[in-house]
Chains A and B, each alone.
Chain A
Amino acid sequence: MATIEARDLVKQFGTVTAVDGVNLLSKDGEFLVLLGPSGCGKTTLLRMIAGLETPTSGKILINDSDMTGLPPRARNIAMVFQSYALYPHMTVFNNIAFPLRPLGTKKSQIKKKVEWSAGMFGIDHLLLRKPRELSGGERQRVALARAMVREPSLFLLDEPLSNLDAKLRTSAREELKQLQKRIGITALYVTHDQVEAMGLGERIVVMNDGRVRQIGTPAEVYRKPADTFVATFLGSPPMNLIEKEDMLVGFRPESFLPLEVSSKDYEQVPFEFEVTWLEDLGSDRLVYGNVGIQSPHRHVIAKLSRNITIPIEAGKTYSFAVLKNEISFFDRQTGCRIDKEIPLCE
């Protein structure tokens, strides 16, 4: 159990600033997800916390003690890498036992712990195999078992599911979450996949260009994005943004519904919607078109679930509406949310 804190953390590679003044504080036993596009600095941030990169400036604290200059082995952390980074020349047993050996653990104790850890992930029958004789899912379990065997205080995961196929990824996500809950360990999880982030994270740290754009629960970052980056990075299709005076008005495609099915219990904001194109995705219908306002930014997408059966055709105009409480407003110049509740964006 541990808390992890980053204070004004900066990492520069030559003239490139990979991480630009990140502040972060996890709660004890929290599952924190770092989410952002490729190259946003999330992996660099994780590597600094692991001790694999030295910060240019700033501090890293684990359990309130300064770890900034210390090597990885002094931090009692475990890390699962994207490629799993199993030692190819060692058996599964030796892979899992590896973190115990520098600690001077006794042989009998090593055997016990390896069996315990392997048992937790259901790989006890694979202990004598080499990594190359394992499937992708099995390798991932070995990597997890190796990370867990030392009972670390902090668990770092760098896109550990990205090498699994889609079906396996869903079940692995569920297992990972269950495991973290059961052990109650603090976990920091890096991903660029928003579905993974929303599904796994107790809180999500959304990053872009080396900076933290928003920290919040999945519901918060989805419903109340701190700026237009978060608004358009999360959600598929992304949030619609249309111009109104000096503001950008944002609403989710699934909140943009035909007037007749829009909830009457809340205040509605109606739009004339000129449909240009339709896509049927099976579970949803995506309706592309323009809303009837005087602005160059008036292209929006509506996402209608299967159970909305109202016929819609391209080339026609319909009455659509959004509930007022589902609308976000952003400053047109800065892109920041106009809402005093979320102070992160400056």
Chain B
Amino acid sequence: MTMSKTLHSGAYRHVWDNERLLSSLMIAPAILYIAVLIGFPLVLAILYSLSSATTGDPSISFVGLRNFIAVIQDPVFQKSLKNTFIFTVVSQMLVIVLSNILARALLQEFKGKRIVRFLILLPWTAPIALGTIGWMWMLDSIFSPIDWVLRYAGLLGAPDAVLGTNPNLYWLGVPGLAMSSIIIVHTWRMLPLATVILLGGLTAIPKEILDAAEVDGAGFWRRLFQITLPLLLPIMSIAVLFGVVFTFTDIAVVYILTQGGPFHSTQVLASWAFFKGIESGDLAQGAAIALFLFPVMAAAAALILRSVRRREVT
């Protein structure tokens, strides 16, 4: 006790020995970053959503919840809200199923595994705009190579073809197909990260547990559904949380591929907020649209994180 006292009150006590000061200093950059780049715009968005600001006149005069009421009554907003849920839920379901399959495949030893892993990661490493522009060509209304393959296979363009007599499917020009297209492209883009997260989770499951299940007589499906997936659930929740938040707030795929069209059939909240707030100049309503899902997202994030903590295994 006396010794530590002398050490602590000694003349050579360094500033770095003060844990409270040190921890504050170390966390400061992160807090600063969040405050400036996330906190400030968020506060600004809240202020705008309660005002009548436009790009021409960004001064803030409060109008209460009028923007929110106007936005909710707007049929395009209602459609965007529905689309956002479809877009998010379907793409995340696809991502979870496909990433589980991919991660399990990548766990096996096979020739060319490294190349396959590299290719799978590629969509995540390539800039999203570039990747999506590539898809734009793939889904082109005239030159689409997918259509070309379908025509070649006799499924499209022939008098009795299954997919119709038109020479093209017009992926981005027909409402249902356009929604499918943005879901496919977004799934393609989100898949790598989810796969890597799940791969990490899979390798963390002790091999002895899977061996034990095998010796206990469990076949492949029983092991998958009763052992692997439940043990993977905490990490899968993280992947889903990330995917959901990312998808809800994403604009790139929709903006580049369809601009929300045709007839707002692929309009999502993020793109609608952008078109309304920035392109049409109605900052206030744009902010209201963008903020609309904020409480829902925050609640979802809190809920998932809580359930993850509860499911944590020793």
Q: Chain A interface (Cβ within 8 Å of chain B)?
A: 47, 50-52, 71-73, 77-79, 81-83, 85-89, 98-99, 101-103, 131-132, 146, 150, 156
12 examples of A-B residue contacts, CB within 8 angstroms: A50-B215, A51-B214, A52-B214, A73-B214, A73-B215, A85-B209, A88-B313, A98-B213, A98-B226, A99-B216, A102-B217, A103-B217
B214 contacts A87, C-beta separation under 8 Å: no
Q: Which residues of chain B are within 8 angstroms of A102 by Cβ–Cβ distance?
A: 216-219, 222
B227 at the binding interface (Cβ < 8 Å): yes
Bound form: Cα–Cα A86–B227 in Å: 11
A89 contacts B230, C-beta separation under 8 Å: yes
Q: In terms of DSSP, what is the predominant structure of the interface of chain B?
A: helix
The distance from the CB of B1 to the nearest CB of chain A, in whole angstroms, is 33
B56 at the binding interface (Cβ < 8 Å): no
Q: Which residues of chain A are within 8 angstroms of B219 by Cβ–Cβ distance?
A: 73, 102
Q: Which residues of chain B are within 8 angstroms of A82 by Cβ–Cβ distance?
A: 208
The distance from the CB of A109 to the nearest CB of chain B, in whole angstroms, is 16
Bound form: Cα–Cα A86–B217 in Å: 15
B218 contacts A98, C-beta separation under 8 Å: yes
Q: A47-B211, A89-B230, A89-B231 given. 14 additional CB < 8 A pairs?
A: A50-B215, A52-B211, A77-B215, A78-B216, A79-B211, A85-B206, A85-B208, A86-B209, A86-B212, A98-B213, A102-B216, A102-B218, A102-B219, A150-B216
A-B contact count (CB 8 A): 71
**Residues in B49-103 with C-beta less than 8 Å from chain A:** none
The distance from the CB of A259 to the nearest CB of chain B, in whole angstroms, is 54
The distance from the CB of A157 to the nearest CB of chain B, in whole angstroms, is 12
Bound form: Cα–Cα A102–B214 in Å: 11
Bound form: Cα–Cα A18–B226 in Å: 32
Contact among A87, A89, A132, A156 for B213, CB-based, below 8 A: A87
Bound form: Cα–Cα A103–B217 in Å: 8
A81 contacts B314, C-beta separation under 8 Å: no
Bound form: Cα–Cα A71–B231 in Å: 23
Contact among B215, B226, B227 for A72, CB-based, below 8 A: B215
Q: Which residues of chain B are within 8 angstroms of A101 by Cβ–Cβ distance?
A: 218, 222
Bound form: Cα–Cα A82–B217 in Å: 19
The distance from the CB of B289 to the nearest CB of chain A, in whole angstroms, is 41
A73 contacts B212, C-beta separation under 8 Å: no
The distance from the CB of B205 to the nearest CB of chain A, in whole angstroms, is 10
B311 at the binding interface (Cβ < 8 Å): yes
The distance from the CB of A131 to the nearest CB of chain B, in whole angstroms, is 7
A87 contacts B217, C-beta separation under 8 Å: no
> Number of residues in B with C-beta < 8 Å to the partner?
21
The distance from the CB of B314 to the nearest CB of chain A, in whole angstroms, is 4
B216 contacts A81, C-beta separation under 8 Å: no
Bound form: Cα–Cα A47–B214 in Å: 12
The distance from the CB of A162 to the nearest CB of chain B, in whole angstroms, is 13
Q: Which residue of B lies closest to A81 (CB)?
A: B208
A131 contacts B222, C-beta separation under 8 Å: no
A52 contacts B215, C-beta separation under 8 Å: yes
B314 contacts A79, C-beta separation under 8 Å: no
Bound form: Cα–Cα A83–B214 in Å: 16
B211 contacts A81, C-beta separation under 8 Å: yes
Bound form: Cα–Cα A82–B208 in Å: 9
Contact among A87, A103, A132 for B209, CB-based, below 8 A: A87
10 tightest Cβ-Cβ pairs between the two chains A and B: A132-B314, A85-B212, A73-B217, A99-B216, A85-B208, A102-B217, A88-B313, A79-B215, A81-B208, A72-B215
Q: Which residues of chain B are within 8 angstroms of A78 by Cβ–Cβ distance?
A: 215-216
Q: Which residue of A lies closest to B211 (CB)?
A: A52
Bound form: Cα–Cα A98–B213 in Å: 8
**With contact pairs A89-B231, A131-B314 given, residues A83 and B206 touching in the complex (Cβ less than 8 Å):** yes
A83 contacts B208, C-beta separation under 8 Å: yes
The distance from the CB of B159 to the nearest CB of chain A, in whole angstroms, is 53
Bound form: Cα–Cα A77–B211 in Å: 13
Q: Which residues of chain A are within 8 angstroms of B216 by Cβ–Cβ distance?
A: 73, 78, 98-99, 102, 146, 150
The distance from the CB of A180 to the nearest CB of chain B, in whole angstroms, is 18
Q: Which residues of chain B are within 8 angstroms of A77 by Cβ–Cβ distance?
A: 215
Bound form: Cα–Cα A77–B212 in Å: 11
**Residues in B183-217 with C-beta less than 8 Å from chain A:** 206, 208-209, 211-217
Q: Which residues of chain B are within 8 angstroms of A50 by Cβ–Cβ distance?
A: 211, 215
**Residues in B201-260 with C-beta less than 8 Å from chain A:** 206, 208-209, 211-219, 222, 226-227, 230-231, 233
The distance from the CB of B92 to the nearest CB of chain A, in whole angstroms, is 23
Bound form: Cα–Cα A85–B231 in Å: 13
Q: Which residues of chain B are within 8 angstroms of A52 by Cβ–Cβ distance?
A: 211, 214-215
Contact among A81, A99, A132, A156 for B217, CB-based, below 8 A: A99
